[in-house]
Chains A and B, each alone.
Chain A
Amino acid sequence: DAGITQSPRYKITETGRQVTLMCHQTWSHSYMFWYRQDLGHGLRLIYYSAAADITDKGEVPDGYVVSRSKTENFPLTLESATRSQTSVYFCASSESVGGASYEQYFGPGTRLTVT
């Protein structure tokens, strides 16, 4: 089925390790986003991409790296994981970001625990 998928769904890693979270969408949406969701903070934007090879920082980019060599993929890498990066990570995509009718479609999330 078409949609947006994330892998892995659950991940436990140790402090200092590099971790890559994958995101894949089949709609050919221009925009893709990475959010983290923590209690009391809601969803916070980490990075976003307006098109292949175009990425930009969101609200909380420190400690994360993204790339987008293909429209359909938007991996998020934690270069050296810290306990504060324990969170639920959501990937999303949308056709645009302007106007009252645009919609973000979210993947099922990745639950990451850093020990």
Chain B
Amino acid sequence: RKEVEQDPGPFNVPEGATVAFNCTYSNSASQSFFWYRQDCRKEPKLLMSVYSSGNEDGRFTAQLNRASQYISLLIRDSKLSDSATYLCVVNGRSSASKIIFGSGTRLSIRP
């Protein structure tokens, strides 16, 4: 089993829709969680950190469920510009060697 798993998609949704995807992790001692966005053939960029209490940034909401060991990303009122691959990142401890990237979930927003 991979340490961090994501549904690869693609998720194909119409503009304006709400879409959510999860990322599961196997290390219960994981401490830090993040969502990165990666556009085609570009470098990943931080979208948002995921806090224990959940956090929201505009149309994006991230949640952490420690009991079930997953993080989620919800995108409301999706835009064409949201089309990208979303990578979840889990840091097992405060050590660079335990930073694990998921393989990514591809999202495509159609007009």
Binding site for B on A (CB under 8 A): 31, 33, 35, 40-45, 48, 50, 56-59, 90, 97-104, 106-109
Q: Contact size class for B?
A: 20 to 34
- List CB contacts (< 8 Å) of B22-81 with chain A: 31-34, 42-46, 49-51
User: Which residue on chain A has the smallest CB distance to residue B45?
Assistant: A106
Q: Are A106 and B96 in contact (CB under 8 A)?
A: no
Given the interface contacts A41-B103, A97-B91, A100-B32, does A108 sit within 8 Å of B42 by beta carbon?
yes
- A54 and B94 CA atoms in complex are apart in Å by 16
- A44 and B3 CA atoms in complex are apart in Å by 12
Q: Are A99 and B94 in contact (CB under 8 A)?
A: yes
Binding site for A on B (CB under 8 A): 31-34, 42-46, 49-51, 87, 91, 94-97, 99, 101-104
User: Which residue on chain B has the smallest CB distance to residue A103?
Assistant: B46
Q: Are B44 and A43 in contact (CB under 8 A)?
A: yes
The smallest beta-carbon distance between A66 and chain B, in angstroms, is 13
Q: Are A97 and B94 in contact (CB under 8 A)?
A: yes
The smallest beta-carbon distance between A107 and chain B, in angstroms, is 6
Q: Are B96 and A31 in contact (CB under 8 A)?
A: yes
Residues of B within 8 A of A107 (CB): 43
User: Which residue on chain A has the smallest CB distance to residue B6?
Assistant: A42
